[in-house]
Amino acid sequence: MSEEKKILYSGMQATGSLTLGNYLGALKNWVKMHEEYECFYGVMDLHSLTVRQEPAKFRQNARKLYALYVAAGLDPEVNCVYFQSHVSAHAELAWILDCFTYMGELSRMTQFKDKSQKHADNVNAGLFTYPVLMAADILLYQAHVVPVGVDQKQHLEITRDIAERFNKIYGDVFTVPEPYFGENGAKVMSLADPTKKMSKSDENVNATILLTDDRDTVIRKFKRAVTDSDAEVRFAPEEKPGISNLMEIYGSVTGKSHEEIESEFAGKGYGDFKLAVGEAVADELAPLQERYEKLLADKSYIDDCIRRNDDKARYVSNKTLRKVKKKVGLLEV
């Protein structure tokens, strides 16, 4: 592992296909980060177990997520792209850190409150201790920085609290991670309700662009995007959230500023603009989708990448785990 570079850690849950929001908000920017950081990216399948999964589909989705990572440009030769569940140190450290985390801290987590309401029939202990497993994910790799969105900021704060508490008792064991506020990706909102974030769990299929949607589907969904009764393409998030969301998306895939977009579509109707956004997004996704299909067909290559990267993740994480076990007094022979 490089001595010069700081360590960056992130990952995504292994449920369903990724959305355009996942891509523009995070994945597209991850691709360039290896130039500055030593990067670890997990397929976070243990986290996905807080919701009941259909086993065969779950395994398939996890493999597809790995292929999407690589298709999007996360080279497994220069990044460590691995499966969380293949590295037992995650679960081991999570239990140890559970014993250094307070019930009051966990009960204040807004994501627990939100998910408890959404999955009221399955409010399990894993959902409650989810932030501790996330802390273990990050602290195992001695990550210096973690890219965070607004919905994950609270989880990084509790990770920092746990690390500082442990260090205060046992000395300098964990690197206390900082939030990554580098180049921010676009915040992509729902096409059906632009006041909400685009989500792969949205029940309205027209609300979300999946990275695996074909060209016709992408364009059709953008044509149906909710806008307003005005006909002016202008960036005004409070007044025109739908059009502003489409402008954010269009700008992210074309590199054009809000001013350039407004000028390009001056005097044109929403229909022309929606079509242009749909075509631009379809063009952006086409090469990714082509690489993705080839990767899914090349089982031996993906299996080899997973094995090699899992081995690296185990090596790095076990160094931290051994140190933690020794500090807390667990016997090793």
For residue range 217-238, list pLDDT tens digits in order: 999 999 999 999 888 999 999 9
Mean pLDDT of the chain: 92
* Catalytic residue ranges: 115, 197, 200
* CATH number of the structural domain 205-293: 1.10.240.10
**Would the CATH topology of 6-186+299-328 be identical to that of 205-293?**
no
CA angle 331, 87, 107 (to 5 degrees): 85
Structurally, at CATH architecture level, domain 6-186+299-328 sits in 3-Layer(aba) Sandwich (3.40)
For residue range 16-36, list pLDDT tens digits in order: 689 999 999 889 889 989 999
Name 13's Cβ contacts closer than 8 Å, sequence gap at least 6: 44, 45, 47, 48
What number of CA atoms fall less than 13 Å from residue 220's CA on the CB side?
Answer: 8
> Predicted confidence band at 2 (pLDDT cuts at 50, 70, 90)?
very low
Q: Where are the domains of the chain?
A: 6-186+299-328, 205-293
Distance, in Å, from the CA atom of 59 to the CA atom of 67, rounded to the nearest integer, reads 13
3-class SS at 82?
strand
pLDDT at 184 over 60: no
The number of helix segments (H) and strand segments (E) in the chain equals 13, 5
